[in-house]
Each structure stands twice: as C-alpha cells, then as structure tokens.
Amino acid sequence: MIQAAALACPILLVGPEATALGPRLDLTGYSSLVVDDVGVTPFVEWVADRDPPAAVILSPHYADRIPDLRRCWGSVVVLLGLDRDGMLERARCLASGADDFWLTTSGPSELLTRLRLHLEMGRRRSPVAPLPTADPRAFAPRTRDPAPEADLRLADLRLEPTSGTVWRGSRSIGLTAREYQLLLFFLRHSGEVISRDKILKMVWGPSESCGSNVIDVYVRYLRQKLEAGGERRLLQTVRGQGYVLAEPLLPPQSEEP
C-alpha cells in the first residue's frame, strides 16, 4: 500500500467538512492544503495559478467546483463528500465528475481507505499516457479497422463505444473512466469466468501495483450503479474463480466481494 509520506504533493481540502479532516490526514502522514470557502471566481483563479495536488477532498455541496478542477488539473483524484448515503446521492456524486465519494457521517477511516486506493492506482500510472477521466471513449478498442465498434449488449444492459454511454434499459448510467473500462472488458468477455488476476492484468495493466482486492472494490461500485434501479444482478461472483458477466441461471450466490 502507498505510504502517505511518499507523496510529493499535498491533499487539497475544500470546504468546512473537508477542512476538519486536516488533523487526521496530518497524523496519518499526509500533508494537507486547506481552502475553507471561496467564491467561484476566486476559486477558479486560485486553482489556475497552482500545480495539481495529489488529490482533492471536497465538502458536500461543492460539486460545482469539479468542472473547474478538471479544466485546470485534468485527472486529479477528486473525492466529494456526502451528508447521507443512498443510491441517488451516490449517482449524483459520480455524475458530477468526482472519482469517488466519502461520507461525513462515517468518520475519516473510510475516507482514508478510499483515498489510499485511488492514490495507489495512480502511483505507477505512466505520465506519457495517463488514464483519462473525462472521456471514456479513450477505451475504445485499438484496431487498424476504422469502423466503429458495435454496441455491446447483455439482457437490458447496453454500452455504446462510439459515445461512451451506458444504459440499463432506459436508464442512463454514469461511470468513472475506470468503471467504464472494467465494464467494457466484462462485456467483451460476457459469459466467460474471469479471474481477478486476469482482470487486474488486462484492465489495470502490469505497471500498476494493486492488490486483487481492488477488483472487488470496483465490482461493488459497478454493481451499485448497474442495480441502482432495482434491476437484477448481471455481474456474478463465481466462488474461488472470479467473476462473470452473464444472465443469472441460478439464485444469487451469498458471497460478496
């Protein structure tokens, strides 16, 4: 796991709830940079004049800052706070452009876990070809054939590679770039039982030093979004083997990642 002290850049804390995390981050070994509250224009100017931090932690109701962060700092990790947990709140958070959420009601431990996970995934990311966060179409298949890839479907799940959009029935699903890449891989191998090691190698790549538990975390994220409307489970756990994206033939297994 990444060591907090190894980070060359601080963690930016924006808003009162995020600012309150400063002492805990400092005790853990991170350095923090605090912005209590600023207006829209001063914030834009403040961001534009600075190098990107290691990550940004936003207080609830600060989602309107994310477009400015993306314009100035690209794929910087952004965690947006939620006052309460729920599928609608999570969907709104991720649709805002945040990479993940954190709950103000659950204490700092969960936040630190999510923060370490995202920093660990980005630690060995190539600076020449960074993983995009704004345009999931970058994950379209690399092929010499210029013809666009056809839509990928399973039951009522549909992924459109040409537009980077995902649908469950008539419901549009907002995914982060990593979630999109993982779902795209599963759909291209639908019906095939895939081990965690293979998923890690094919989706994360050999250069990223992540444990297989990262797969479980992102499978859980995908399930939450794919089933947010009460739809049946398509991403199945196969005990001792990995995961398979398929229409269920048997009652759901009790194992959860």
Give the three-state DSSP class for 67.
Answer: helix
| pTM metric for this prediction | 0.49
Rounded distance, CA 121 to CA 126, Å?
11
- pLDDT per residue as tens digits for the range 189-220: 999 999 988 988 888 776 555 666 788 888 99
Q: Please check whether residue 172 lies inside any domain of the structure.
A: yes
Q: Please check whether residue 130 lies inside any domain of the structure.
A: no
What confidence tier does 44 reach under pLDDT thresholds 50, 70, 90? low
Residues 28 and 109 in one domain: yes
Give the domain-ending residue among 76, 101, 123: 123
- pLDDT per residue as tens digits for the range 159-182: 988 778 899 999 988 887 788 889
- Domain range holding 229? 136-245
Q: CATH number of the domain at 80, please.
A: 3.40.50.2300
Instruction: Give 14: exposed, middle or buried? Use CB within 10 Å, 0-12, 13-18, 19+.
Output: buried
Assigned token pair, 106 = 């659950």
Residues 115 and 60 in one domain: yes
Residues 24 and 88 in one domain: yes
- pLDDT per residue as tens digits for the range 70-119: 877 877 889 999 988 887 887 888 788 888 888 888 878 888 888 888 88
Q: Please check whether residue 217 lies inside any domain of the structure.
A: yes
Residues 95 and 150 in one domain: no
Query: Kindly report the CA angle at 90 between 86 and 96, in degrees rounded to 5?
Result: 150
How many domains are there within the chain?
2
Partners of 171 in the beta sheet? 168
Query: DSSP labels for 93-119?
Result: HHHTT-SEEEETTS-HHHHHHHHHHHH
Give the domain-ending residue among 95, 123, 151: 123
Partners of 238 in the beta sheet? 242
Q: CATH number of the domain at 181, please.
A: 1.10.10.10
Residues 114 and 140 in one domain: no
Q: What is the pLDDT of residue 247?
A: 86
Q: Please check whether residue 197 lies inside any domain of the structure.
A: yes
Residues 140 and 102 in one domain: no
Give the domain-ending residue among 123, 145, 172: 123
Q: Please check whether residue 145 lies inside any domain of the structure.
A: yes
CA distances (Å), origin 52, targets 2, 48, 70, 92, 164: 19, 9, 10, 24, 27
Residues 151 and 226 in one domain: yes
Averaged over 25-30, what is the pLDDT? Answer: 86
Cβ atoms < 10 Å from Cβ of 159:
23
